[in-house]
Every structure is written in structure tokens, then in C-alpha cells.
Structure 1
Amino acid sequence: MMNRYAELLYWAGRYVERAGNHARLIDINYHMRHELYGQQDREYVWERLVESTGSVARFEELYSNINAGTNELTVLHFLTFERSNNNSIFNCVQQARNNLRTLRQLVPAEIWEVINAFYLWLKDQNVSQVMLQAPHLFYQRVREWATLFSGAVDASMVREQEWDFIQTGKFVERVDNTLRIVNTVHQQIRRESDSESDQYNRTAALLKSVGGFEAFRRQYAANISFEYVLNFMLQSSSFPHSVQYSLDTLVGHINQIGLPNRDYEALDERVSDLVDAMKSVIGPIRSGHVRVEDAALSHLVYLSNQLGGAVSTAFFQNVHVGA
């Protein structure tokens, strides 16, 4: 298998994970918008949702001169269906499908059938239909498709390099998604929250946006403070969306690939350095014992971007993988 194939598998894993992450984030923020933002101007509410996905610059580029501006329909269309937004749910699913179509001889038919059906269903949807059928039902269906894909990968793929490449993409994306959401909510709380109920609602939404509300409650009961949630999302060794868990799993998959190649050895060292740097920032953050500064979380986001770049370029552009 050539390095191009490895890259396609890696990005298929990232794209489907991103689609599921964005669907959950949109769903939670959309349906908790009144609790989160109260009587704030409606335009402000939708701007915060775009901010949570990290796509503000592209949104402003597309819609700043449109009379409709920042509103419910433009934001949901942009995040879900906009063809020129590389991070829209539609584009993520389409790119994953294109990648796996190229690699149909390398992946089980079950995986292709899932991603193809996911794409064909999504292609027939639009924002008007979403509003008619209730956004919650639509985004819940997107999440179900993404989960079905992940389940098909785990159930049908032989535990060889192809599986490790998809899983590497999945957990690189998961680290990035969790850190970006944590950083955004932390900034919003520092900038805007002026009551305990407001902070509680934002913190609960943060947990729900990564599917961690019930898992957190099992460990911390009703103590839903931002400090405890931050510790849980960064350091938990058992919650699948925590940064710690995702980094450990990611390193395991990269080590499992284990290619005897100088380029791979350089990548392995680079990934290890970045993971160690991220853990050195995460380590002191323990249940409110250390004040969390914006700079620390921003640095984690920066390191996460470096990690993704190291894997997707240094590895997949230089390493040839034996069939």
C-alpha cells in the first residue's frame, strides 16, 4: 500500500469523526441557546455557534455582504451544507466517501456501504427540510450515521495498518475537537458569564457537546463546575473523548504501525515530543488547584494543530507502506 492510500484512510477517519463532532455540537448549542445566551441579541447567539466550530473567518468571508447576515438559517446552512466550507458536515462526509471509493479494494464492503448510504441520504437534505423535520432529529441522525461508520470499522476491519490509519485520523481529530471546544467555552465564561446559573449551563453544554455529561456525573455526581469538567475532559484516562485518553490511544496506533523507516522514526519522535508537551501543560490542571489561563489552553490548541500537521504531512507524504 502506497503512502497515498495511507493518507486517504487517515483523512477518512478524521472527516467522519469531524462530521459526528459537529453534529453533536450544533445540536446541543442550538437547543440550549436560550439557557446559554438568555436575552442576548439573536445574531450574537449564532455567531457563538460558528465560533465553536473554528470557522469564523470562512463564515465572515461568505456572508458578511449578504443582507441575511448571521441568523439561524445562514449558520445552519454554513455548518451543515455549505459546499465551499471545508468543515461543513456535507463536505466532511463527501470527502470521506471519495477517499474510501478510491480504496474500495482495501476496506470491507460493509464500510463502503455505510459511508455511501450516509452521503446519499445527506445529499438529499437541505436547511429548509431540516427546519421542517426538527433540527434535533436531523443532527441526531447524522450522529447515528457517524457512529454506524465507526462501528463498521471496528467490527469488520482486520487489525492491520489500514485500521490503524483510520484510527489515527479519528483520534487526531478527537484531540483537536475537544481542545477547541474547551478553549472556546473557557473564553466565553471568562468574557461573558456573570452568574452561577450561566456558568452551570455553559459547562453542562460543554460536557454534552462531547457526549460526556452522564460519564462525568458518574464520577463527580452533581459537582458540575468548570474546573472539575476541565479536569475530566483533559485528564480522564477512561472517557473516550478526553484529551489524555485520545493522546494515549493515538500513540498506541502510531506505534502499532511501526515501520522500519527513517522518516517514520523522525515522525515517531516528533509525535512523542508534541504529546509530551501537551501532557506537560495538562498535568498541573487538577480540579481547580491551579488557575487555568487562556494562554495555556490556547497553547494546547496550537500543539494540537502541530500534532495533526506532523502526522498528515511528515508521515503520509514520506513513508511508503508495504502491502
Structure 2
Amino acid sequence: MLNRNAEALFWVGRYMERAENHARLIDVHYHLQHENDFAHEEHKWSRLIDAFGAREDYRKQFDQFTERDVLSFMTLDRGYNNSLFSCVSQARNNLRSIREKLPTELWDAVNAFYLWLGDMQVADMLAEGPNPFFRQVKDRIAMFQGLEHSVLPREQEWHFIESGRYLERAENTVRILHSVLAAISADRAAPYAYLNAVLRSVSAAQAFRKAYADGMSAPQIMEFLLTRRSFPRSAYFAFERLEEHLEDIGRFEGPAAGTPLHERALRQAGKIKAELGCVEREDLTPDAAGALLLRLTEGCRGLGRTMADSFFRLEEASA
């Protein structure tokens, strides 16, 4: 496999996962609007922008934080690289560059998704209510993932897409937990509704209840979303799968498989997974969790750079 093809596949996985994460977070935000801490209109929408770390980009286009402007910016904006439309567009561009090497069902799903989003207007979302729109977004991404699991041979193409998906998933989970930490830093007794919304944003509410019954605290949520080995959106689960896919990449002839940089990527993934496997309750108190989350953030970024150096640098892809 060419380096540029491997990179394109990796970013297809990342961008589709990122689009789903954005849809989940924005949808949950709408469910939270009736809470007291969202009573102020400006704070209500600036908080969502801050959750994505997009305040600087948003301020380049808009002076105030309103529902219409924030929704437009986060979903359909062509200029913001991390809008939902931009994520799907970039996934489509990468997939288009290698579409002849993949089952046609994958291209058909992403292209139809892109065309549907391209026809959407903010007024349409507001008229019908944003929740049905985001439900359709999640359904379309689930369809792509189902097709990928059903029709893509378990060869290098599969492992690069899945590596991108799980690295992005781990970063997203850590980013969500940063927002939890910020909330409890401002108020040690974070509102129940807010904590429940965090769980719902990763479809973890029911699984969390099975593990903790009636408990609901920020340290418990951090423990669950960082270390739960059976939950598909925990950071531990993501790094366990990422490590497996990196190992499987080495079983095929292809870009940099078995090289020192490939081995380094494996070691980095294994090191992060091992740290997550050794997390104790005292590591998740508000005072200690910040350092842990910063290490995980840097670990994700460092692993991404190592993978780029190992597999992608000799030839460039659109990413």
C-alpha cells in the first residue's frame, strides 16, 4: 500500500468519528438548555463553542453567540475545518482519492451523506428542531461504520481506518473529560444534569448505571470513561483496539511495517494503555485528574505524530 493511501484511510476513520462526536455533543447541549446554568443566552451558546475549543475561530466570523450563528458554525460552515460539514467533506475527499481500491458501498454512503448535508440549511434545522437532524447524522455515520465492518476485507485498509477511528475516539473522550474537570473546578458539586449529559454524549448512561447503580460523581464518570475495559467509548478500550490494529498493520507488506518507527508507535500505544490500566481512584480527584488528562492529551498527539512519521511522510495525502 502506498503511504498516501494509508494516510487517506487513516483520516477517513478520524473524520467520520469526529463528525459523530460533534453531533453527539451538540445534540446533548440542546437537551440541557432548560437548566439554570444555561439561562443566559450568551453563556448558553459560548459554552458549546468552548467545548470544541473553537472560540478564536468563531470570533473571526461572529460578534455574538446566538443559536443560529453557533449552529451554523458548528454544523454547516465551509470555512471552519472542524464543522460537521467540513469533517464529512474531508472524509469524502480522502475516500474519493482511493475509491477504486475500496468497496463501492463505502463511497456511496459517504457521498450521499455529503450531498444531504450540502443541501441542508440552518433554517431547516431550526424549523424542525435540531434533534431530528442530529439523529439522522448519527444514523448515517452508523450506516457507514456498519458497511465498513460488513464489506471491508481485514487487510491493511481496514486497520488504517480503524486506527484513525480509535485514536480520534480516545482524544474525544479525553476532551470531554477536560470539560468535566473544568465544570467541577468552577463548582465542586457539578450539577447532576450536567454529569448525566456527559454520559449521554457518549451513549454511556445505561452502562454507567449498571456499574455504579445510583452513584453519579465526576470521579466516577472519569473512572468509567477512562478505564472501563468493556465500554466501547472508554479511553482504555480505544487504546486496546488501537494497539491491536497497529500490531496487525505489521503483518502485511506495506508502508513502514516492522520499522523502528512502527515499533515506536506500538510502544507509545501500549504505554498509554498501561497507564490507563493502572489508574487508581486517587488519580481521579479534581486536583490530580488534570495532570492525568494532560498526559493523555499529549500522548494522543504524540502517537498521531509518530504514526505520521512512520506511515505517511514519504508521500502526502489530503488530510
TM-score (norm 2): 0.91
Alpha-carbon distance in 2 for matches of 1:200, 1:116: 40
Q: Does 1:103 align with 2:98?
A: yes
Q: Which residue of structure 2 lines up, in the alignment, with residue 47 of structure 1? A: 46
**Paired residue secondary structure (2:240):** helix
Alpha-carbon distance in 2 for matches of 1:307, 1:27: 30
Q: Which residue of structure 2 lines up, in the alignment, with residue 237 of structure 1? A: 229
Q: Does 1:284 align with 2:283?
A: no
Runs of 4 or more above 3 Å deviation: 259-264, 287-293
Q: Which residue of structure 1 lines up, in the alignment, with residue 303 of structure 2? A: 307
The one-letter amino acid of 2:88's match is V
**Paired residue secondary structure (1:241):** coil
**Paired residue secondary structure (2:35):** helix
Aligned partner of 2:163 among 148, 168, 193 = 168
Aligned partner of 1:70 among 65, 69, 74 = 65
Q: Which residue of structure 1 lines up, in the alignment, with residue 35 of structure 2? A: 35
Could you tell which deviates more after superposition, 181-190 or 266-275? 266-275
Measure how far apart 1:273 and its partner are.
2.8
Q: Does 1:297 align with 2:293?
A: yes
When the two structures are aligned, how many residues end up with a matched partner? 312
TM-score (norm 1): 0.90
**Paired residue secondary structure (1:234):** helix
Counterparts of 1:211-250 in structure 2 under 5 Å?
211-250=203-242
Measure how far apart 1:301 and its partner are.
1.6
* CA distance 1:98–1:135, change in 2 (3 Å): same
8 Å contact kept, 1:264–1:315:
no
Measure how far apart 1:61 and its partner are.
2.6
Alpha-carbon distance in 1 for matches of 2:276, 2:92: 36
Alpha-carbon distance in 2 for matches of 1:132, 1:95: 28
Q: Does 1:10 align with 2:6?
A: no
8 Å contact kept, 1:101–1:112:
yes
8 Å contact kept, 1:263–1:315:
no
8 Å contact kept, 1:11–1:166:
yes
Q: Does 1:151 align with 2:146?
A: yes
8 Å contact kept, 1:43–1:71:
yes
8 Å contact kept, 2:88–2:110:
yes
Alpha-carbon distance in 1 for matches of 2:306, 2:46: 31
* CA distance 1:114–1:130, change in 2 (3 Å): same
Alpha-carbon distance in 2 for matches of 1:199, 1:179: 20
8 Å contact kept, 1:176–1:301:
yes
Alpha-carbon distance in 2 for matches of 1:96, 1:142: 14
**Paired residue secondary structure (2:61):** helix
8 Å contact kept, 1:231–1:286:
yes
Alpha-carbon distance in 1 for matches of 2:248, 2:194: 38
Q: Between the two proteins, what is the percent identity of the paired residues?
A: 36
Could you tell which deviates more after superposition, 288-297 or 1-10? 288-297
8 Å contact kept, 1:3–1:318:
yes
The one-letter amino acid of 1:33's match is Q
